[in-house]
Homo-oligomer: A and B are copies of this chain.
Amino acid sequence: MGATKSELFTASQNELAAVARALAHPARIAIVQHLLRVNACITGDMVEQLPLAQATISQHLRELKDAGIIQGTIEGAKVNYCINGARWREIQALLNGLFDTYVQDQTCC
């Protein structure tokens, strides 16, 4: 035990959880906020901004990339990272779908 039993849940539940997990670290939140702000970025820039080692940041970037949230294009020796706009809106819709399930009139608690 110790591993999430994802096969026991629906694809939708696993995807929501995966998206949440991708954002479940302050460094990744910081990266996303930075990319949203400047609307384009390079990794080296990030290493200056964040108080973490280059290897660690690269690892966080990879997790965001695996979740589809960001994408990187090689620009010579550097890499340009930016938000994947379509995916970003998709994720927002996914989350709002969850949030909007809430009905105002509670009957308990």
Residues of A within 8 A of B (CB): 4-6, 8-10, 13-14, 16-17, 20-30, 32-33, 36-37, 39-40, 50-52, 71, 73, 80, 82-83, 85, 88-89, 91-92, 95-96, 98-99, 101-104, 106-109
Contact = CB atoms under 8 A, between A and B. Distances in A.
A109 B71 contact: yes
B8 A52 contact: yes
B85 A108 contact: no
Given A25-B4, A26-B4, A109 B73 contact: yes
Q: How many copies does the complex hold?
A: 2
Q: Quick one: which of A10, A20, A96 has the most chain B CB within 10 A? A: A20
A58 to B, nearest CB: 15
Given A14-B26, A88-B102, A102-B83, A40 B8 contact: no
A24 B26 contact: no
A53 B33 CA distance: 38
Given A40-B109, A101-B37, A106-B40, A9 B24 contact: no
A4 B39 CA distance: 26
